[in-house]
Structure 1
Amino acid sequence: MLSGMTRPPTPPFQTVYGTPQPLDWLCLAPHPDDAEIGAGGTLIQLAQAGRGVGVLELSRGERGTQGTPDLRVQECARAAHIMGLSWRGNLGLRDGELTDTPEAAHALAAALRAVRPRVLVVPHHQDRHPDHFGTYQLARRAVHLAQLRKADLDGEPWRVSRTLLYQGNADIQPDLLIDVGEVQDQWEAAIRAHESQFTGQVVSETVTPEIIERRRARQSYWGTLARVRYAEAFEAEGALLVDPLAL
């Protein structure tokens, strides 16, 4: 190394697929497969439209009943390819302990500065799983830290323009419904890429071979309200500005 040169900062995450880059949309997932289940159709549709789309898992799902961390990383990479993601990474926090701590918030804020998403998609705070509502709280602090010029973080400050909340295992009152009817085949294939979770025994209402049937029923319900076949539902953090000519 030449004298006077410094090493670039070490990324606070492991890259699972693609290359870290500025993204239009980034979905935060407490565990592998959460992004596909909660927002997969929307992410696929955006990727097909040429947008930069990424997923960041906060944990490796190492405490899950089925599968292993290494296997789940492989499944995430396969699903990312099916979805057409620009990048997928893992922050390496402890499964079952995702919460708003200073250390975790600084790591996530540094990741946000590295991939600079315009829209951030996070789990809903009313989800029953502690890691899911913990991710929501953690994301709020990280978004704030990432924009502070004087924060003790690598990278240039970054302000997320919009945060949306996706549905996990709780009812939500959506502000936004997105038609995902045309990407059902890709969405189903992306979920099936997580084979360790969705074959074999039923572990929970989420870890079950019936996951596609159950989630598609929700998409059908939201689609009925939107007068389309299938839709995904989101709540917005803050008011949405809508062009009245588009209504």
Structure 2
Amino acid sequence: MAVPLIQFIDVTKSFGTDPVLKGLNLSIYKDEIIVIIGKSGTGKSVLLKHIIGLVHQDSGQILIKGIPFHQLSVEEKRSFQKELSYMFQGNALFDFMNVYDNIALPLVENSNFPKDQVKEKVFTRIKQLGLNGAEKKFPAQLSGGMRKRVALARALVTDPKIVLFDEPTTGLDPVRKKNVHSMIQEYQEKFEFTAVIVSHDIPEIFNLVQRIAMLDDGIIQFEGSKKDVLDSHSKILNAFIEGEDV
């Protein structure tokens, strides 16, 4: 069995007196698409924030390629962070920046690329995601689907090895949701990054991913393939998929 790219071992996290993660165990493998499902407020976004380093666990370990994160050197930690990209829920585009500047932001903030290389990378993503002619427009001038594409272009402009998607289809109609799913699948195959998706798009999201993990009551209650989901006798999993309360 391959060593997981990222592994959570008995990870706990509380905010004040409110426990969110209660001994979470999860493995994420290189170049896969994995979806994290579960009810609202169960800690799915908190899980993502542990990966990107915005939140730190109270106990337990997070391993990167088999090595506890705290044992990595400063340079190794920095290198791992550079491999990450995050597509925020609601896109998190800056209204006062045009499309070009929104996409270029990670390059301008976190690298020493000269302007001509920034321009080349940004326009490559603009072309790849069908945003030609929109580079001078502002987010308020774009449709919901186009704003999603701008957010994805920004997430991919640094050539990341791992992309975290927090509810990437929030606020979209069924047709645009399907388009975003297809877009993620297409670019994951093209650029071969590891994709971790938090989503409520059940069961549509299952057609996109290799593995599914369900987070409930602070732990992973189920982890497996689409076939494993269909064959599962888990009451919590099946109730969630059917939209029932448990």
TM-score normalized by structure 2? Answer: 0.30
**Bigger RCO of structures 1 and 2 (CA < 8 A, at least 6 apart):** 2
TM-score normalized by structure 1? Answer: 0.30
